[in-house]
Structure 1
Amino acid sequence: MEKTVKAWRSFGDGVPLFEGVGEFVGDYLDNRYKEGKPYKDYNLDKQGKGMFWAAAVNPNRKDDPEASACDKQPFWVDEGTTPEEPLAVTPKVLAEYAYDELPVPSTEITMAPQGTTKVNLPTWVWLDKAKFKKVSVTASIPGSDLSATTTAEPVSLSIAPGTEDAETYPASGECPIEDHRIGVPRAKGTPADTDPPCGVKYLRSSGDGSYDLQATVTWKISWTSTTGEGGDLPEGRFGADQQVEVEEIQSINR
């Protein structure tokens, strides 16, 4: 705070239009933070026992209508205390901020057979076991002991074939996680007509085009904090589209 006031006093130096503005602002801030109205000597005697809090804008949300809603002047907060100011950062706010930063992998499924699939033959679908596991992000306020950790855990994969002329495995189209894996890779030598635990069977050719298969992973989101508070946040659903070409099986009659 002391450095901030000094910086303000140099504002406008040498610029006629702004000459004196820095000193005016500096006098106002000194009156508030140095002369005892309400703070004395910038609270330097409380170093290590708290800090001044000031408004900050989440750079990821700077265009939101309420991004600059906090117009409260910087105020002192004792160490280990969450202020009662309605717009002040709380453990849950930190958890929601961490939610924004979760490194969720792209939802790119693996299919077998790869490339073009055939009408009435099951296509196996699965996700990389190494990528789809719990991920966590911790957000904290520097210089304080206030932090929150948000964790995302994948729970299921939803398959939308892109056409009504298709069947999914299971019939609901929701493939649950089993043994930290979504779906199972098709083993070599598996008969072509074997039903997969997770997959799709197309009943009609895609002709000269392709079907837009959508795969969406549902993530369960929870959070904990250094204050002991915690709970669940809304589920995250992250998906991607993949083009699937489907051909008729050609047969020869003799």
Structure 2
Amino acid sequence: MVRFSGATEGGSESRGGTGNVTPVGDWTPPACWYEPRTAQEFSKYMEDMYTETINTPGQHSYAKTAVGQMRDMYKDGKYKNYNLDQADEGTWWVAVRDESRWMEPEAQVCNELPFWLKNGDAPKVPNAVTPQILAELAYNRIKLPTTEVTLAPAEVTKVNLPTWAWLDKTKFTDVSVTAALDVGGVHIQATTTARPVSLKLEPGTADAETYPASGECTINGGTVGEPYAPGKANRTPPCGIKYLRSSGNGTYRLRATVTWQITWTGTGNPNPTRLPDGTFGNDQAVTVQEIQSVNR
């Protein structure tokens, strides 16, 4: 069974939580794949599935019949007792679906019944697990830090006042997940790494300007944007926003999205290889007030 380790549960420190990376473009990680199981693991898998199906109240009779026939084939039919007497000679290969994408059409293409392969033989099915497929599965399990930018002014900004924006470089560093498979004669692994490369700011209103004009702030020396400091008030921020109209009694929803460059290394692939870039972002409230003048 594929095992994952690394930043799958918020391994990158963040304020306010973590979330999954969203691939740029039409690419998505595999929704299903085939992976090996030992004879002992497959035996338990089949017996557990049979017992659960038979004993589930209200289970349809056709489901019980189908599972019973499948169990008979591997236990007393085409195969004998799950090939337990050949456990050192090969492995069972079974279809696995991503639990979060169970009903998607892409998850239904792995429809081959479990099959036996002797050690050293290559499976002749699409989506049989490889180091690259492991890397793509790891991609789908990366947890990225919430994209909450630091603003100056922090609480309330003013109309026509440039607002500086940046990300704390100590909280936005490389994030990696490793996927490994060590079953029978199959020993492969892959590590997928996400590296932040740019920040896109969307002010939440057309009455605003961004710095730079594209709204894309690039990484500079490991920092996204530049922290504000006394003495910089007359400078144009390298990354920021200028609101042209008050938010009134409400707020604007500033959206900050980080683009992450994603690569993988692994068995047979020591040099980082690109996978599609990914993004992750969120909204934060910004209050904009008119600058008050005093008449004498």
TM-score (ref. length: structure 2) = 0.71
Tell me how far apart the structure 1 counterparts of residues 290 and 176 of structure 2 sit (CA, whole Å).
45
Q: What is residue 200 of structure 1 aligned with on the other side?
A: 241
Q: Distance in 1 between matches of 2:232 and 2:111?
A: 67
Note the 1:31-180 alignment, pairs <5 A: 31-34=77-80, 42=83, 44-45=85-86, 47=88, 50-79=90-119, 82-143=122-183, 144-180=186-222
Change (3 A) 1:9 1:110: closer
Write out per-residue CA displacement over residues 124-166 of structure 1, whole angstroms, 9 at most, x where no aligned residue.
1111211211111111224231222211111000111122222
Q: Give the alignment's Cα RMSD to 1 decimal.
A: 3.1
Q: Is the 8 A contact 1:8 1:23 kept in 2?
A: no
Identify the range of structure 1 (221-230 vs 155-164) with the bigger mean alpha-carbon deviation.
221-230
Q: Give me the TM-score of the superposition, normalised by structure 1.
A: 0.82
Structure 1 spans left out of the alignment, 5+ residues: 36-40
- Range with bigger deviation, 58-67 or 235-244: 58-67
The answer on 1:28 being equivalent to 2:69 is no
Inter-CA distance 225–167: structure 2 relative to 1 (3 Å threshold): same
1:211 is aligned to 252
- Work out whether residues 127 and 133 of structure 2, in 8 Å CA contact, stay in contact via their aligned partners in 1: no
Percent identity between matched residues is 49
- Aligned pair count reads 244
Deviates more, 1:79-88 or 1:115-124: 79-88
SS in 2 for 1:141: strand
Pick aligned residue for 1:247 from 284, 289, 292: 289
Higher RCO by CA contacts (8 Å cutoff, separation 6 or greater): 2
Q: Which has the larger radius of gyration?
A: 1
Partner secondary structure for residue 179 of structure 2: strand
Judging by fraction of residues, say which structure has more strand: 2
The whole-number CA distance in structure 2 between the counterparts of 1:9 and 1:233 is 39
- Residue in 2 that maps onto 1:38: none
Which moved further from structure 2: 85-94 or 126-135? Answer: 85-94
Deviation of 1:32 after TM superposition, in Å, equals 2.5
**Take 1:244 and 1:179, find their aligned partners in 2: how far apart are those partners?**
27
| SS at 1:31 equivalent | coil
Matched, 1:238 2:283: no
Question: Displacement, 1:61?
Answer: 1.4
Separation in 2, partners of 1:135, 1:161: 27
The answer to whether the Cα contact below 8 Å between 1:8 and 1:25 also exists between their aligned partners in 2 is no
* Of 49-58 and 176-185, the range deviating more from structure 2: 49-58
- Give the drift of 1:203: 1.9
> Aligned partner of 1:129: which letter?
K
